[in-house]
Structure formats: C-alpha cells, structure tokens
Amino acid sequence: MRYFVLAIALWLGTFVSAQAQELQGILQVHADEVAKPSRRSVSVALDDLVASGLPQTTTFLEEWSDRNVWQRNDGIFFIAREQGDDLTLTDVDTGEQSTASKDDFTQIRPNGGVRRVIGTALVQFQLSDPDLARRESAVDSIARSPETEQLAPLLASIDGETDSTLKARKIQLANFMSARFADETADRIAAIESLAKDTSVEARSVLNQILTTSEGVSATMPEGNIARILETGETPDAYYTQLVEAGLAPPRTPPQTIRAALEAHVVDGRVGQTPIAQLGTEEMREVAYSQLAAAGTVPPLVTIADRDAALSAHVFYEEYDESDTDITDAAAAALASVETRVAFAQAADLALDGLSLASIYFLAAIGLAITFGVMGVINMAHGEFIMMGAYTGYVVQLFIPDYTLSIIVALPLAFAITFGAGVTMERLVIRHLYHRPLETLLATFGISIALQQLAKNIFGTQARPLTSPGWLDGAWVISDVIQISYIRIAIFVLALLFLALILFVLKRTRLGLEVRAVTQNPGMAASMGINPDRINMLTFGLGSGIAGIAGVAIGLYAKVTSEMGADYIVQSFMTVVVGGVGNVWGTLAGASMIGFLQKGIEWLNPSNTLAAQTYMILFIILFIQFRPKGIVALKGRAAAD
C-alpha cells in the first residue's frame, strides 16, 4: 500500500515537471503583454495563466507584481534578484538557479494599474493556497475592497476550504458580495434578505453601499430609481447654489458683491441717483444695485423672489445608484430591520455603560452614605480619601513592579490608610462638632483643601499612572455594537462585593447592630450600653476606608491626580441625597439612577458631555423638589432631623 502511494506521488511529480515546461510556453505566447504590460492588454495573458492551473503561477505572479521578473535578450523570462552587476536567476518552471550578467536582461516593471489587475488574479490562487495564513490574508484583502470579478473565485474556493472558521468567513463574505455583485436579481435579493439579521458593521456597510444615492436636480419629474424628493424649504440658499452649479440658474449676488459693485460705481458721491450716505441699509443697496443693473453696468440682481421661483420650477431629488427598484426596496427593508436590531443592541450597550458608571458612583458614594446616614455628618474630605486611596495604589506600584500583586496589596493597604485617616479626623475634628452639621461641612472642607494641596506638594500636579494588570486589559466584545472593557466589569464586581459586604456587616454582625441602633436613636442606644462614641469612630473609619478602596478602583481607569476626589465629590453627594440617607439600598438606587441618567443624556447629546452633566444636575435639583428625602426615605422617628 505504502509503495503504491509513493508510486502515485512520484508519478504526479513527473507529471507536474512534464507539464512545467508550459508556463514559459504560455509566457512566450504572450511575450509582448508580459514584457510591456498595460492594464488593458494584460488580462488576456492573465486569463491564460490562470486557466493553465499551474502551481508555479502563484509565485510567478507575485514576483511579476514585485518587479522581480527579468527578460533575457532571447525573450526567455526569469525570476531574478540583483546582486551588484549580476543577477541570480531562477527558472520560472524548474526553479533552477544560475547567475548571469545584468547586461543581457531587461527588468519588467508593471505599473500600479497592472499590479492591481495581477493582484486580483493572484487572489484566486491565494484563496486555495495550502498555507492558511495566505488564504486568510486573501480573504481579508477581498473584504477590504470587494470587486465583481472576485465573487466567482471566492464561491469556487468555499467547497475546498478545510479550516472551518475561514470557511464560515468565506461564506459570509460571499454572501456580502452576492448582495452587491451577483448577476441574478433573485440571488441578490436573497443575499440581501439574509443580511437583515446581521448587525455587524460589515453587513450594514454592504447594505448602505447598495443604497448609496446621488443628488440631482431637473426641471421635470425625473425617471429612474428615485430615493426621495427633497424639500427646499429648510435651506433654500444651499439648494439654489446647487441649481447654479448645475447651470440651471444665474448665481445670486451676495451682499459683499453688491457692496463691491456699488463701491466701484461711485460717481460724485452718488451711485446712480442715490447719495452714498443713504446706502446704510440692505434695501437701499439693492435698489441702487438694481438701478445699475437696469443701466446694464452690472449683472442683474437675483432677488429672493427670483430664487424661490427658480427653486419651485425645479425638482430636487436623491437617486439610487442602483437602478433596480426591487433590490433597493429589499435593501431598504433589510437595513430598517438591521437598524431596529442595532438600536436594541445599542440600548443594551448603553445599559452596560450605565451599569458600570453606576457601580463607580456607588463605590464612591457608599462610604459617604454610611457616615452621613449614621452620624448626619457631611464629609467634604471624602473625595480626598478617594484620592489618598489612588495615590496609595500608585506608591505601592513604585515598590512592587508586578501589577497583579501590587493591586492585591494596594486594596487592603488603601483601606488601612484611609481608615486610619478617617479615625484620626473623627477623633481630632468631627467629634467636637456633633450637632453642628453645617460647621462639620466647613471644617471637613478645610481638611479637604489642605489634603489636596498636600498631595499636590508631594506628588506634583501632573497625573500619575495606576496601571491595571494585563488580564484586565481589553474588552469583552459581545458583538460589533455591544462591548465592555474588563476593567469596568472588575469595578462592577467590586461594587457588588462591597454591597454584599456592607449589607453583611450592617445586618449580620454585632457592629452592624450597634451602628443601626445609633443611627435610629443615639440616646436610646447609649442607654442600652452601646458606646456611641466608639461606633461613630468605627463607622467613620469604615466609610473612609471604603473611599480608599474606591480610589484604587477609580485610579485604575482614570488618571490619579490631586484633584480627582473633587471630580467625584459632587456626584457622590448627589448619589447620597437622591438615594436617601442612611440606607445602603438608597445609595444603590441613587447611584443607578444617576449613572443611567448620565449615560442616557450623553446618548441623546453625544457631542457635549458638559451639557449632559448640566442637564443631569438640573434634573437632580428638580427631583429633590419632589422627593426631598430621596428615593428610599426613612420613615418614623429615624427620619426626624
């Protein structure tokens, strides 16, 4: 059996080498076209080369295109490399190498147009090339600039494709191309209809390319595949310019031209009969200009009435470049259906964005909510605790170069440091200011500006990097429309963890019980043996510590600067106030509302994030009017101020 296979192979080998003589033969038949190729003539030679089906054709075509084919004086073609004054020759069929002097050879230099034609021919070979990478690059090059003649070779190569991924890709691409280039209308419509479920950017661009239109204007109702008739009401001047460009109307006289014409015809302080002192209005200038025009010195004035008359005498329309109405109708229907799907996908994408923003706000605000809820204290320095956390992460990365490890170290360290800072602040300042909430606000603000300036003095004003580990790079791509970066997923998971942790601490531990007791009624809690002083201190430390961890998380995707806390503080306040004080679920609701709202407004007005923030704040101000105590309001005695 083995011998048999070997025999076959040997036989095939001799067969190929026997046939191999023929490439040079074909080349000689078309010697003129090969030696001096032009875009028109080369296709005849190419057709024969392609039809021969010889395996060495691919190499030859590539070398030909790369200007590595030389012709000897006797007319024989070689693949050659220059080596000083000599050439290293390779026989086009046998691959035999030899050296010869350059003098007997002429280099063949196909121009750009020819090389493109050669490239198209090459694609057909590359599509069935044994090398997978070559096949892939051939498919990619077709996808970049699809052309009619590539469809047939692509379809032909599908059956022989062994790689399943590439096969699917080829089928998809063939489908896209059928939609645009297939000969039979029915085939095209079938292909177009199959695209109606495809939301990829490629499929949409195929549909859009079928639906390309060009604008036109004519005096009568036009024939052809008209997309729509345009109304000239909105921007009459633009349409009139179109008329002028089409040579269907005289150009309008802009105010500057009128002015220049008048200036050029001033005689003795007058233009025509009008003294120049009266020319200070548009109307008078037009009158004077019309007089000049009547005298024949300047071109006639096209008035607004003339313009409107010319516009109404013509039809402005958009015409499909594709002449077949059935195809454009099918494409329009498919595009409408695709766009509905895309809109849903975009809504999902927007929801994901909103979710990630909400989790950031939640992380930033939950610490604030705890201190505000339990102690009724607004901590203006909360933003600076976020900043401290982020800088902790930065400093840790200076010492631990491994990013994964450094983040694992930084998270608890940031908690510890900001916990300590929070407890210190509570002991030194806030403890003395209970029952004076407004003054706490101001005192913590003093701390905030001092900390911010201190960070500026230590770390400088430029942004410091906090690099995320490699496995958090990139994004989870669900489709061309929906994708979300891993770092945002990580922040979302972190937010969920903290939600669970805080709920656990508050509802299931002794500390949580005491915290809730102090929140509801400090006096009663104290009489039950709880030390409110200690609870306040721990709560404040806990809130600050969470801010530190939020700082590490925020620093991972935003820059670490001394002002980063200030960027989040107002949003954090909003979150707490909108959500309702003293309730974890309230903060969650507030963060969700603000996150989704901000993304929603940004979507409505994507060019302008400043405007989006403005509108959001205005909305929140109005919202507070209707629910002054927030979404989740405390009831009963705990709600009393």
Partner 1 sequence: MRQSFISQNPSVLWFLAALGLFTVVVTLMSEATGVGLISTSFVKTLGKTLCLCLIAIAMDVVWGYCGILSLGHFAFFGIGGYAIGMWLMYARTEAIVVPNLMAQTIPPTPQEISDAIGNQIFGVVGSAEFPMIWAFADSLFLQLLMVVLVPGLLALVFGWLAFRSRVTGVYLSILTQAMTLALSLYLFQNDSGLRGNNGLSGLQNIPGYEETSQAMISIVFLWGSALALALAYVFFAWVVSGKMGSVVKGIRDNEARVRFLGYHVESYKLFIFTITAIVSGIAGALYYPQAGIINPGELTPIASIYLAVWVAIGGRGRLYGAAIGAAFVSLLSSWFTGGGAPNINLGFYTIQWTDWWLVLLGVSFVAVTLFFPKGIGGLFDYLVRKPS
Binding interface with partner 1 (CB under 8 A):
255, 259, 262-263, 266, 276-277, 279-282, 285, 378, 429, 432-433, 437-439, 441-443, 445-454, 456-457, 566, 570, 573-574, 577, 608, 610-611, 613-614, 617-618, 620-622, 624-626, 628, 641
Residues 6 or more apart whose CB falls under 8 angstroms from that of 113 comprise 38, 39
In 350-378, which positions are buried (b, 16+ CB within 10 angstroms) versus exposed (e)? bebbbbbbbbbbbbbbbbbbbbbbbbbbb
Smallest distance from the beta carbon of 582 to partner 1, in angstroms? 13
CA distance 80 to 72: 11
Residue whose CB is less far from partner 1, 29 or 617: 617
At its nearest, how many Å lie between partner 1 and the CB of residue 450?
3
Q: Please state, as a whole number, how many other Cβ atoms lie within 10 Å of the Cβ of residue 285.
A: 20
Closest CA to 321 of 177, 209, 192, 212: 212
User: Among 46, 35, 41, which Cα is nearest to 70's?
Assistant: 35
d(CA 580, CA 587): 7
3-state secondary structure 123-138: HHHHHCCCCHHHHHHH
The smaller minimum CB distance to partner 1, of residues 167 and 427, is found at 427
State the minimum distance, in angstroms, from the CB of residue 567 to partner 1.
11
Q: CA 429, CA 423: separation in Å to the nearest integer?
A: 10
Integer Cα distance of 50 and 58 in angstroms:
9
Nearest in space to 327 (alpha carbons), one of 147, 157, 178: 178
Task: Find the shortest distance in angstroms from Cβ 237 to partner 1.
Answer: 15
Amino acid at residue number 625: Q
Q: Which is nearer to partner 1, 75 or 275 (CB)?
A: 275
Helix (H, G, I), strand (E, B) or coil at 483: strand
Q: Which is nearer to partner 1, 539 or 571 (CB)?
A: 571
- Residue 85 or residue 641: which is nearer to partner 1 going by CB? 641
Q: From the centroid of its chain, how far is CA 304?
A: 44
Residue 266 Cβ, how far from partner 1 at the closest point, in Å? Answer: 6
Place of tokens 């195809």: 327
The smaller minimum CB distance to partner 1, of residues 31 and 566, is found at 566
Cα dihedral: 524, 525, 526, 531 (round 10) = -170
> Which of 204, 285 has the CB closer to partner 1?
285
Least distance to partner 1 from the beta carbon of 474, Å? 32
Q: At its nearest, how many Å lie between partner 1 and the CB of residue 217? A: 29
Q: Residue 480: how many CB atoms within 10 A of its CB?
A: 15
Cα(640)–Cα(635) distance, rounded to whole angstroms? 9
114 closest CA partner among 34, 60, 217: 34
Q: Of 55 and 460, which CB lies nearer to partner 1 in the complex structure?
A: 460
Kindly state the smallest distance separating residue 269's Cβ from partner 1, in Å. Answer: 10
Tell me how far, at minimum, the Cβ of 311 lies from partner 1, in Å: 23
- Helix, strand, coil content of the chain in percent (nearest 5): 70, 10, 25
Q: Are 568 and 392 in contact (CB under 8 A)?
A: no
Alpha helices in 38-111 (DSSP H): 42-52, 56-65
> Nearest distance from residue 194's CB to partner 1, in Å?
44
Q: For residue 598, which phi and psi values (nearest 5 degrees)?
A: -65, -45
CB of 293 to partner 1, least distance (A): 17
Q: Is the dihedral of CA 413, 417, 423, 426 positive or negative?
A: negative
**Distance in Å, CB of 288 to partner 1, minimum:** 9
Alpha-carbon distance of 316 to 232, in angstroms, equals 8
Rounded Cα gap, residues 444 and 382, in angstroms: 9
CA distances from 37 to 105, 117, 195, 258, 541 (A): 17, 11, 40, 57, 81
Please identify, using beta-carbon distances, which residue of 228 and 436 lies nearer to partner 1. 436
The residue (of 261 and 490) whose beta carbon lies closer to partner 1 is 261
Beta carbon of residue 613, minimum distance to partner 1 (angstroms, whole number)? 5
Measured in whole angstroms, how far is the alpha carbon of residue 209 from the centre of its chain? 20
